[in-house]
Structure 1
Amino acid sequence: MDMPVVSECSAESCAYNRNHACHALAITVGIPEQAHCDTYFTAPRQGGVADAMGHVGACKMADCQHNVDLECRAPAISVGARQDVADCLTYSPR
């Protein structure tokens, strides 16, 4: 199984974001209350791998229609502000 790609990220203050692209090798989605990007954080310098595109490594949102055994099966996701600074905009409850 291929990990879904983070096709766009509008959380510009994230240390892994460069030009609306995620450069973390893998992110985790979900905290108990919402589909938050658990990997999001701010830092004084950019992180991640410059020539890599971010992927979804794990998803804790068991009620999402794209979630199978806590793995995201969406072809790609978008991250941006829904309820917070960095939420999975592809999240869709069953």
Structure 2
Amino acid sequence: MEMPQVAVCQVGECAYNRDSACHALAITVGDGTHPGCDTFFTFPAKGGDAGATGRVGACKVAGCLHNVDLECQAPGITVAALGGSADCLTYTAR
């Protein structure tokens, strides 16, 4: 199984974001009910692998249509800042 890509990350202040792209090797989405990017944090320097595109390693939002056994099955996701948090915009309620 191939992990879905973080196709777009619109959260410019994230330590893993460079030019609207996620460079964390894998992110985790959700806290059980909210589809927030658990990997998001701010830091004075940018991190991650500049040559890699972030992937979704795990999803903890059981109520998402794309979640199968805590693994995201969407072809790719978009992350954006909503209400002070970084959220998965691909989240779709069952």
Q: What is the TM-score of this pair, normalised by structure 1?
A: 0.96
> What is the count of residue pairs matched by the alignment?
94
Moved over 3 A (4+): none
- The 5-angstrom pairing of residues 68-79 of structure 1 reads 68-79=68-79
Gaps in structure 2 of 5+ consecutive residues: none
Aligned to 1:53: 53
Partners of 1:82 and 1:4 lie apart in 2 by: 21
Task: Name the % identity.
Answer: 61
Tell me the distance in 2 between the aligned counterparts of 1:35 and 1:83: 12
Counterparts of 1:34-53 in structure 2 under 5 Å? 34-53=34-53
Quote how far apart the aligned CAs of 1:32 are: 3.2
TM-score, length basis structure 2: 0.96
Asked if the contact 1:31–1:60 (Cα under 8 Å) also holds between the matched residues in 2, the reply is: yes
Measured on the aligned residues, the alpha-carbon RMSD in Å equals 0.9
Trace 1:1-94 onto structure 2 (pairs within 5 A): 1-94=1-94
Segments of structure 1 that go 5 or more residues without pairing to the other structure are none
| Structure 1 position 31, deviation (Å) | 1.3
